[in-house]
Structure 1
Amino acid sequence: MQSFRFIHTGDIHLDSPLKGLSGQQGAAAERIRTATRTAFDTLVSQAIEEEVDFFVIAGDLYDGDWRDYQTGLFFVKQMGRLAEVGIPAFLLYGNHDAESQITRRLTLPSNVKVFSARQPETFRLPNLSIALHGQSFRQRDVTDNLVTAYPAPVAGCFNIGVLHTGLGGMGGHANYAPCALEELINKGYDYWALAHVHQAAVLHERPHVVFCGNLQGRHIRESGPKGASLITVEDSQVEAVSPLHADCVRWIHLPVPVDQCAASADAVDLVRGAIEEAVARDAQGRLLACRIELTGQTKLHGELLASADHLLAEARAAALGLGEEAAWIERLVVATKTPEIAASRKDALGDLQRMIESAGSDAELQARLASELGDLVRKLPHDVRTETDDAVLKAAIDGKIAGLITHAGAYLNARLAEKV
């Protein structure tokens, strides 16, 4: 059997809106807005440079229905680049780009083969003795196990299964097209090209069962290097699964301990140093999108909370000082703690601490707060309710009133303690 190489990608989410850009302007913000397109363009260039034999997209090419035809036209252009050099592409639709999700359609170049959503379909590459099997999603919520209907392996071929699946809800992802790893291993295929889980992973070797991960991180929970997989096959055996990093924006979480800071200016210096070190260490020529988290126990807790907007502006100034597209600060989170204020103190702070502790166990007060806050929480936008990182707001959203009282009390105590 001939040797060959192919690219396995998925979870591209073309034109997906990236988080944290509201009100942001400038070159860095624009780079983030177009990151999914840039990453896919980079991957197609890598496919051409590597002279791969074919290209597999295992679902969620799109992020939902197109706003206009520009998203589809961009994809057609990229497939045309592959067509020019004779690289066929095999496309499977997942939950985000299921038949029912995309209302607009464009005719794709002849080098692109789309797996049917009605039943499993097999495509052959006779010159390489390859058979690819897959089934696209007809609707977003596919709860059936699709693997059972996939055909038996084609004798004498290298068999590739293409599947969009939660594989039991890995990584907290919705368990679409549920199946078990053992089913994939025992199917008789040589390689499973999986997508839907956004963290790249080789779950099994010989046969290989591989999640390629998403192509471009879109928020802080998709941090670190992102890309696709380059698969090398020699004499019917997978010899290598190599990462192809295509992301142009790389997300990173930067904890900054401020325990030893005597003034907020010291915290600003530490933040500036952390950004500079991260760019030198992790950016690798990409824009580094940073979430900064101030940590530790400090008497400055209340002051830092009160000056969070100023600290964020200082962090963004430090990033811009490295160049307009070196780093971008998505958020600065004050996660410090104040030194414990003992309820045994005989002053106003001790009285306040005792009130907070009693409020935390007052069922009537908690019920009243839960009722009043519940009305406000229900009016919040869905993305705020599901994605907030603010500890006080999250406690309110989750209905954890005792925790809400504790957080609010700690803030009040910290502010008052500054003045004592």
Structure 2
Amino acid sequence: MGVTFLHTADLHLGSPLRAVEAASESLAERLQRATHEAFRRVIQVALDEDVDFVVVSGDLYDQKARSVYANEFLVNQFKRLEDADIPCYVVHGNHDPLGAGAEKLPLPDNVHVFGADDVEIVLYPTDDKPAARIMGQSYGSQWESNALYYHYTPPDTAIPNIGLLHTGLDPNGQRYAPCGPSDLAQKDIDYWALGHIHTPRLVDGAPAAYAGIPQGRNVGETAVGGCLLVEVEAGSDPNIEFVPTSPIVWQEIVVDLETASTDGGSHLRNLADAERYLEERMIDLQNADQEALTDALGVPIADTDWAPEGFVCRWTLSGRGELFEALDEEATDVLATHLRKRWQSMSPFVWTESVRDHSAQPLPDLETLIESDEIISELVELTNEIREDDEAREELRGEAGDLWKWQTEEEHEDVPEEQLPLNDKRLDQLIDRALTRSIDELVTRRNNAN
């Protein structure tokens, strides 16, 4: 017989979404409450799924000093669980170590906080009739250099053993409970509920997972936030599903000027083209469904009706194109301002955090470069000689390495999964790409020197 529970971590209560420039008052309010709203949704998932219990794997608060508001909010959310007779088991992490701060308000009786002195064991639901064993140890200070996992040693495997651990999962790390997947796998733990990494993911080589952060806090945390629903039986692999909860999703979208084009197929030439193109991408975000937004996570996704309230976007213009000539700091600021004017009329909203210019001027066409530049002319001539020289091609095939598997036009043998097919046509493409990159680097260095 197994148990079903909710795994969450890295709440970072008290941390508003940051780095949003020129936000209106109404948007600023949404951003301010997003972190709390995400955790309220986490608790609602636990109630809707009627889980046996909830585990929190560290960093409940964003800072060592707990704010009264964050503490009161946390107490109220845990009371919702208490009213439903759902216990909650908590470890503290590097942002909220036990030795650095105290709760302003006491937590409800349904919450058990694991101490920092040693690994503790709690039996669910009672010591007399246990259905699961929960083990945990909190951080006592900001850094934890001890290999805490080593002391997670359950007395038996008759019931599911669940370990709460806040770790960077780096065996060489000296700050965040050093260990690796193989270390976790050797313990008789049926599920390791991990915290510290803010992107949800399953751990290869161990029955372990990171729940991720319920709500990303800045443009560096673009993954959809949420929690994990876990079903586990003693001696069996856990069944894990990710449940999205973040009301706001950060996006960093790179626009390649070499491929981006307007509806008519023309490349972006001026700010009007750029604005129309980015508005189209904003509409794409509005129309994106849950599957599209969570597909990159690599974690099984629960069937829910979740949808974001909105997106906060950083647009980065990169690559070479005509638009380069129209871009400077003032231009990107104006472009961002124009895009922001539309956010209130959109549902879900799309707010532009900033527009960044990482573009470069277009390269002259190859014929012009050959005629005007002796070095590039010699480089092209040398490349053509290599392309026609059988011995040189044979040498290039050898230099390509084990990543490539050579195939002639007549061969149709299967290529191993760890290799890519290489033939004469593909070799010509690689030679052309090497030439283009070499010319690009030469021109870039000369432009930078001028």
Q: Which TM-score band (shorter chain)?
A: 0.7 to 0.9
CA distance in 2 between counterparts of 1:182 and 1:236 reads 17
CA distance in 2 between counterparts of 1:235 and 1:96 reads 32
Q: Does 1:124 align with 2:123?
A: yes
Find the counterpart in structure 2 of residue 45 from structure 1.
44
From 153, 162, 168, the equivalent of 2:170 is: 168
Counterparts in 2 of 1:212-251, with a 5 A limit?
Answer: 212-234=211-233, 237-251=236-250
CA distance in 2 between counterparts of 1:140 and 1:329 reads 35
SS at match of 1:328: strand
Q: Does 1:137 align with 2:139?
A: yes
CA RMSD of aligned residues (A): 2.8
CA distance in 1 between counterparts of 2:247 and 2:310 reads 7
Find the counterpart in structure 2 of residue 90 from structure 1.
89
Contact 2:154 2:161 in 1 (8 A): no
Find the counterpart in structure 1 of residue 424 from structure 2.
none
> Would the alpha carbon gap of residues 22 and 153 (structure 1) be closer, same or farther in structure 2, given more than 3 Å must change?
farther
CA distance in 1 between counterparts of 2:155 and 2:11 reads 28
SS at match of 2:123: strand
Find the counterpart in structure 2 of residue 317 from structure 1.
341
Find the counterpart in structure 1 of residue 200 from structure 2.
200
CA distance in 2 between counterparts of 1:5 and 1:169 reads 30
CA distance in 1 between counterparts of 2:75 and 2:18 reads 26
Measured after TM superposition, the shift of residue 174 of structure 1 is 7.9
Contact 1:275 1:319 in 2 (8 A): no
CA distance in 2 between counterparts of 1:155 and 1:321 reads 56
From 322, 325, 332, the equivalent of 2:355 is: 332
Q: Does 1:268 align with 2:275?
A: yes
Gaps of at least 5 residues in structure 1 are 351-405, 414-420
For residues 90-138 of structure 1, give each alpha carbon's deviation from its aligned partner in whole angstroms, at most 9, with x where no partner exists.
0100000102332444211110000011111111114452111110000
Q: How much identity, in percent, do the aligned residues show?
A: 30
Measured after TM superposition, the shift of residue 69 of structure 1 is 0.9
Find the counterpart in structure 2 of residue 294 from structure 1.
317
Aligned amino acid, residue 137 of structure 2: Q
Find the counterpart in structure 2 of residue 16 from structure 1.
15
> Would the alpha carbon gap of residues 335 and 174 (structure 1) be closer, same or farther in structure 2, given more than 3 Å must change?
farther
For residues 267-302 of structure 1, give each alpha carbon's deviation from its aligned partner in whole angstroms, at most 9, with x where no partner exists.
111111111111211573431111111223123314
Contact 1:64 1:102 in 2 (8 A): no
Measured after TM superposition, the shift of residue 239 of structure 1 is 4.8
> Would the alpha carbon gap of residues 339 and 17 (structure 1) be closer, same or farther in structure 2, given more than 3 Å must change?
same
SS at match of 2:328: helix
Measured after TM superposition, the shift of residue 236 of structure 1 is 5.6
Aligned amino acid, residue 314 of structure 1: H
Counterparts in 2 of 1:304-383, with a 5 A limit?
Answer: 304-306=327-329, 307-323=331-347, 326-340=349-363
> Would the alpha carbon gap of residues 280 and 145 (structure 1) be closer, same or farther in structure 2, given more than 3 Å must change?
same
CA distance in 1 between counterparts of 2:334 and 2:152 reads 57
Aligned amino acid, residue 162 of structure 1: L
> Would the alpha carbon gap of residues 22 and 278 (structure 1) be closer, same or farther in structure 2, given more than 3 Å must change?
closer
Measured after TM superposition, the shift of residue 139 of structure 1 is 0.1
Contact 2:133 2:160 in 1 (8 A): yes
* Count of residue pairs brought into register by the alignment: 347
> Would the alpha carbon gap of residues 138 and 234 (structure 1) be closer, same or farther in structure 2, given more than 3 Å must change?
closer
Aligned amino acid, residue 334 of structure 2: H
Aligned amino acid, residue 87 of structure 2: P
Contact 2:190 2:232 in 1 (8 A): no
For residues 13-58 of structure 1, give each alpha carbon's deviation from its aligned partner in whole angstroms, at most 9, with x where no partner exists.
1121322135422322221221110000001011101100000001
CA distance in 2 between counterparts of 1:63 and 1:262 reads 44
Find the counterpart in structure 2 of residue 371 from structure 1.
none
CA distance in 1 between counterparts of 2:204 and 2:316 reads 36
TM-score by length of 2: 0.71
> Would the alpha carbon gap of residues 240 and 258 (structure 1) be closer, same or farther in structure 2, given more than 3 Å must change?
same
Aligned amino acid, residue 187 of structure 2: K
> Would the alpha carbon gap of residues 340 and 35 (structure 1) be closer, same or farther in structure 2, given more than 3 Å must change?
same
Find the counterpart in structure 1 of residue 78 from structure 2.
79
Find the counterpart in structure 2 of residue 303 from structure 1.
326
CA distance in 2 between counterparts of 1:27 and 1:43 reads 24
SS at match of 1:160: strand
Measured after TM superposition, the shift of residue 230 of structure 1 is 0.1
Measured after TM superposition, the shift of residue 222 of structure 1 is 1.1
CA distance in 2 between counterparts of 1:264 and 1:296 reads 16
CA distance in 2 between counterparts of 1:337 and 1:94 reads 44
CA distance in 2 between counterparts of 1:254 and 1:85 reads 42
Contact 1:168 1:175 in 2 (8 A): no
Gaps of at least 5 residues in structure 2 are 259-266, 294-306, 374-443
TM-score by length of 1: 0.76
Measured after TM superposition, the shift of residue 316 of structure 1 is 1.1
Aligned amino acid, residue 196 of structure 2: H
SS at match of 1:119: coil
Measured after TM superposition, the shift of residue 220 of structure 1 is 1.6
SS at match of 2:322: coil
Contact 1:53 1:88 in 2 (8 A): yes
CA distance in 1 between counterparts of 2:73 and 2:204 reads 34
CA distance in 1 between counterparts of 2:308 and 2:200 reads 22
Find the counterpart in structure 1 of residue 149 from structure 2.
147
> Would the alpha carbon gap of residues 174 and 7 (structure 1) be closer, same or farther in structure 2, given more than 3 Å must change?
farther
